[in-house]
Chain A
Amino acid sequence: MIEKTLKGKPAYWIWLAVLGTFIAVGAACYIRQYMFGLGLTGMSRDVSWGLYISQFTFLVGVAAGGLMLVLPYYIHNYKAFGRITILGEFLAISALVMCLMFIMADLGQPLRGLNVIFFATPYSMLFWDMCVLWGYLLLNLLCGWVILTAERKQVPPPKWIYVFVAISIPFAVSIHTVTAMLYCGLPGRHFWLSAIIAPRFLASAFAAGPSLILIACLIMRKYANFDAGKEAIQKLTTIIMYAVIINTFFFLLEFFVGYYSEVPGHIHSLEYLFFGLEHDGHVYNNLVPFMWTSVVFNFTGLGILAYMKIAKVFDYRLVGASAVLIFLALWADKGLGFVFGGFVPNPLEEVTEYIPTMNELGITLGIWATGFFLMTLFYKIAIGVEHEVEA
């Protein structure tokens, strides 16, 4: 099936070339970082995790979001998702590869990475995160490949594969739950020390993942002669809408707890993210524009989706706009604010702001480009098989 990636229109090759350029730049930046050390990043003693870990956290959610296709199709036998469920599985694979690359980029001693296995430590959440991420990656590779192969041969998939499909469902929930546990089990980090983190992660994941699939579907509808079907698209927008509503609700609860109780630890990070935190006469606020953009995008996207449901209109441009807005809003929320905000103030109530360096941005973009590169190849295979079956 891999041969399907070798034939395509010029637009396909141009797209891959653009991504390839970013990958090359990212690789060069990584070599620089590898030679010098993580001092080439904007991370510091106080903000000891930066873009790499925040992107990792966001992308685990994108990977888990594929569940919103797998669950209706395999468990509830929702036939309209027949053409796009494979896209959810392939998205999960691409997102997980990005996750693992971001982790490796973040390690101070990447060559010692296998120590996590040699000296396995079950009370560390990082150990369990490694287990579930690899588990979910392998499950998706297996299920995606077997089911697509069966489709190509136009036979029903073997029965045993459904065992693995069923296992992959709790795995999808577990990858994001365990990722939330990396944060919400740490004493002294008030912003993260909240039982709502895991549910909020899942809610935002179930919006972000399907949003990206929706965007991909619309692009492929235009350029790759692939129509996911109006019913499937509409159902996806419903799923995204409810997930965004739940995520927003959870987030507003954090605001209530902080600003009504007025316990300083519960307010500081929110203050820093949304209004700027004053400290020793200086106001620290470099994430404020991102967070308010996130809020505006979130509610605009939600408004468009609600409008389409209430007014019973359907327009691909509106669908696309809402998906893009929501994806960006959730990215700013979890891919920036959640991780960076948790480090402000530091345990000694001092404030250090984080500003990524160009080298760090190069690596980050390079890893995103790798993910999109893989996703493009996988989707090319999936569509190629569907076209072959239809022909």
Chain B
Amino acid sequence: MDTKRRKFLKMAGASVLAGIGAPAIVKLSTKDAVAAGGGHGAAKASHGGGHGAEESSGVRLGMVIDMRKFYDNQGMLDKAIESCYRVHNTPKIDNPKSEIKWIWKTGYGNAFPEKSHNHRSHTVHESSFPVLCNHCDNPSCVKACPTKATFVVEKNGIVAMDFHRCIGCRFCMAACPYGARSFNWEDPRPHIDKPYNADFPTRMRGVVEKCNFCGERLALGQEPACVEACKGTGAIVFGDLNDPKSEVRKVLDSEFTIQRKPSAGTKPSVFYIV
């Protein structure tokens, strides 16, 4: 299974790099997705009572976060976060006002305010949940951006950022229903752990940033940093949501999962098993 996934990621990554191979893989996956949709897949994709079923074509990367693996191993969560921050030269600013967050820990009630209620289990109540950009299929941040500095990568569905085009208007921060975006209120470089990761750019002040699903690592055939940090545990499963044979789809097809704020209509690509 693992080798198969790696193979897929390599293909996806290579296609991102080359651009030429892309149509082939997109076409391949589209065919699969359509085939699935024609059968039993259509009903599965709908999260409501049947209205507004999610139908997208092409590769749509997403992940399942299996909290059962994290409840007894919260240290692994810290490892995943640390790995992400190191890989992306994410500054660590103590002041919560100016904090930069890509993937971070929060309470169940904060991650899922609409599903929050009294009398939840002690485990859920006391554990930290990882939250990050949901790489939505219908991202409100992308709609808001006046310069297309944040956009959906057509080849894989990642919601990406162009740090050089962003004008820093922060409309995307107001538009994101998940609070996934951070703004560089000051020069971030003094706050980055040295040495820098030379394979990923640092940011300048005045631009917005967020999780990028490790698009740059996928292009090299590597897994996202947080996924790699939890390797072998199945705590975070990553792959193409539109490919019925992908590992992530197998998990989604067999387990009950929830999304953050599905009512916002953004169609998040990050799922949780609570």
Contacts and interface: CB of A to CB of B under 8 A. Distances in A.
Interface of A: 36-39, 41, 43-46, 48-49, 103, 106-110, 112-113, 115-116, 118-119, 121, 123-127, 130, 182-183, 185-189, 342-343, 346-350, 352
Contact of A188 (B97, B101, B167, B176): B176
Contacts of A189: 174, 177
A283 B106 CA distance: 21
B266 A187 contact: yes
B96 A44 contact: yes
Contacts of B140: 186-188
Contact of A349 (B110, B144, B173, B208): B110
Contacts of A125: 144
A347 B109 CA distance: 11
Contact of B144 (A186, A347, A352): A186
A127 B116 CA distance: 37
B143 A124 contact: yes
B146 A127 contact: yes
B206 A38 contact: yes
A128 B81 CA distance: 39
B205 to A, nearest CB: 4
A36 B97 contact: no
Nearest to A119: B147
Contacts of A110: 167
A260 B219 CA distance: 52
B186 A121 contact: no
Contact of A124 (B99, B146, B184, B186): B146
A348 B110 contact: yes
Nearest to A122: B146
Given A39-B185, A119-B148, A349-B113, A46 B179 contact: yes
B169 interface: yes
24 contacts: A37-B206, A39-B98, A44-B185, A48-B170, A48-B174, A107-B167, A108-B167, A108-B169, A108-B205, A108-B208, A109-B206, A110-B167, A112-B167, A115-B147, A121-B145, A121-B146, A123-B143, A124-B145, A126-B171, A185-B143, A186-B144, A188-B140, A348-B110, A349-B113
Contacts of A126: 144, 146, 169, 171
Contacts, number: 143
Given A112-B168, A347-B177, 20 more contacts: A39-B98, A48-B183, A108-B167, A108-B206, A109-B206, A109-B207, A112-B147, A112-B166, A112-B167, A113-B167, A115-B146, A115-B167, A119-B147, A119-B148, A126-B146, A186-B174, A347-B179, A348-B106, A349-B110, A350-B110
A48 B173 contact: yes
A49 B206 CA distance: 13
A68 B96 CA distance: 45
Contacts of A342: 174
Contacts of A349: 109-110, 113, 116
Nearest to B98: A39
A119 B171 contact: no
Nearest to B188: A37
Question: Chain A's interface: helix, strand, loop or mixed, by majority?
Answer: loop
B185 A352 contact: no
A112 B184 contact: no
A44 B98 contact: yes
B178 to A, nearest CB: 6
B265 interface: yes
Contacts of A123: 143
Given A37-B184, A124-B145, A187 B179 contact: no
B187 A45 contact: no
Given A115-B147, A348-B110, A44 B97 contact: yes
Nearest to B180: A347
Interface in B130-182: 131, 140, 143-149, 165-171, 173-179, 182
A187 B177 contact: yes
B12 interface: no
B261 interface: yes
Contact of A45 (B96, B168, B178, B186): B96
A290 B205 CA distance: 33
A37 B187 contact: yes
Contacts of A109: 166-168, 206-207
B268 to A, nearest CB: 12
Closest 4 CB pairs of A and B: A108-B168, A188-B177, A108-B206, A39-B186
Contacts of B145: 121, 124
A275 to B, nearest CB: 20
B147 A108 contact: no
